[in-house]
Amino acid sequence: MQRRFWLCVAAMAALPMVHATAMAQAWPARPIKLVVPFPPGGLIDNMARLVAPKLGQELGQSIVIDNKPGAGGNLGAAEAARATADGYTLLMASPPLTINPALYSKLPYKPESIVPLGLLGRVPNVLVVNPASGIQSVADLSARIKARPGQLNYASNGQGTSLHLSAELYKSQAGLFVTHIPYRGAAAGLTAVMADEVSMMFDNLPSALGLINGGKLKALAVTTPQRSSALPGVPTMEEAGLKGYQVFAWFGLAAPAGLPAPVQQKIEQALERVAQQPEVKAAIQKAGAEPTWLNAPSMASFMQADTAQWKSVASYAKIALD
């Protein structure tokens, strides 16, 4: 009798493991939604449309893009955070996940309600000036700003963006006083640089590259730890004298917290296989980004450090968006 009792106990204890295994084998049984917190046509959306069919092939199920722009990426993140944690809703992760917690005292979701699955690529920002300015280096630019404190301006694509905070980090490290002029989008800001309405701007490298190569903008430095393969002759900000300066846009996948472990493992393994495909790496490079694979734990550590950096910058620059 006692032996039968313990056999029953053992069988009941094994039920969750059997259920989890069965769930992993059955999943995915229907299309998966990938929430993109930006409108169609931008870099993050383009990367989502690159990755989705490849990941779908690995998982044996179609992945449908669902663009949910608004509130600096918060609307899309909130939708993903509220979704059932069953593997059928994923999020295209990008810098707002680490920037917005530093800028908003209240978010429409809890940051811990979203878990990273893997980082796929990094996108350098690039510091540009008007070629007619005579400025040849970051040191030249810093010297000019220090000679005219408060008299010069810089452009960005809006308050609280990666481009805005890239400039604020530069200001804080170099001890500069230069005024922020937010424009409606990066294109308008770059036009202002070319028209000599502002002295400088940080932009995502892919959108500025054509103007740089065409001689309409002068690139002084990229913001990643290593030089960009797209601009190998342009130094990094650290090489230009700003020790520890490191900023990049990035993209990867995340999901609502609480995914069943077998499902999460299945997604992570499939995503890593996608990240290693030569055609995916080539497409990422063609877009002006750098293929960079980080697994879920490494991506979580990166996001934690990135948020801490932006909290420091936001505090220094007194930036708050609510």
18 pLDDT above the threshold of 60: no
* Any domain includes 26: no
pLDDT above 60 (res 11): no
Whether 202 has a pLDDT exceeding 60, the answer reads yes
Compare 33 and 204 and report the one with higher pLDDT: 33
Q: Which structural domain range is residue 285 located in?
A: 31-123+248-317
Domain boundary among 172, 188, 222: 222
Specify whether 136 is located in the same domain as 98: no
Is residue 103 in some structural domain? yes
Burial profile 163-196: b = 16 or more Cβ within 10 angstroms, e = fewer: bbbbbbbbbbbbebebebebbeebeebbbbbbee
Residue 233 lies in a domain: no
**Number of folded domains in the chain?**
2
- Considering the domain architecture, whether residues 95 and 108 belong to the same structural domain is answered as yes
In a domain, 20, yes or no: no
Contact 267, 299 (CB under 8 A): no
Give the Cβ contact number of residue 216 at 10 Å.
16
Phi/psi of residue 172, nearest 5 degrees: -65, -40
Lowest-confidence range among 78-82, 106-110, 142-146, 318-322? 318-322
In a domain, 17, yes or no: no
pLDDT for res 24: 54
Q: Which of 206, 222, 238 is the last residue of a domain?
A: 222
Same domain, 278 and 209: no
Looking at the fold, whether 116 and 128 belong to one and the same domain comes out as no
- Distances 208 to 184, 204, 226, 253 between C-alpha atoms, Å: 16, 7, 18, 25
205, 222, 239 - which closes a domain: 222
* CATH code, 190: 3.40.190.10
Same domain, 132 and 170: yes
pLDDT tens across 124-143, in order? Answer: 999 999 999 999 999 999 99
CATH number at residue 254: 3.40.190.150
Task: Evaluate whether residue 236 is within a structural domain.
Answer: no
Q: Considering the domain boundaries, does residue 101 fall inside one?
A: yes
As a whole number, mean pLDDT of residues 111-123 equals 96
Nearest to 116 by CA among 225, 271, 291, 249: 271
**Quick one: 218 and 195 in the same domain?**
yes
- 14 within a domain of the structure (yes/no): no
Same-domain check for residues 44 and 61: yes
Q: 159 and 111, same structural domain?
A: no
For the cut 60, the answer to whether the pLDDT of residue 12 exceeds it is no
Kindly report, residue by residue over 26-75, the tens digit of the pLDDT.
899 999 999 999 989 888 999 999 999 999 999 999 999 999 998 889 99
Among 13-17, 87-91, 295-299, which is the least confidently predicted range?
13-17
Of the candidates 40, 86, 38, 33, the residue with the CA atom closest to the CA atom of residue 64: 33
Q: Are residues 274 and 296 in the same domain?
A: yes
Nearest to 247 by CA among 312, 163, 121: 163
pLDDT at 9: 45
Quickly state the pLDDT bin for 17 (edges 50, 70, 90).
very low
37 & 117 share domain: yes
Cα(59)–Cα(30) distance, rounded to whole angstroms? 11
What pLDDT score does 230 carry? Answer: 87
pLDDT, tens only, 206-253: 889 999 999 999 999 999 988 998 899 999 999 999 999 999 889 999
pTM: 0.82
Same domain, 257 and 212: no
Confidence check: pLDDT of 5 > 70:
no
Tell me: do 166 and 105 sit in the same domain. Answer: no
pLDDT at 22: 53
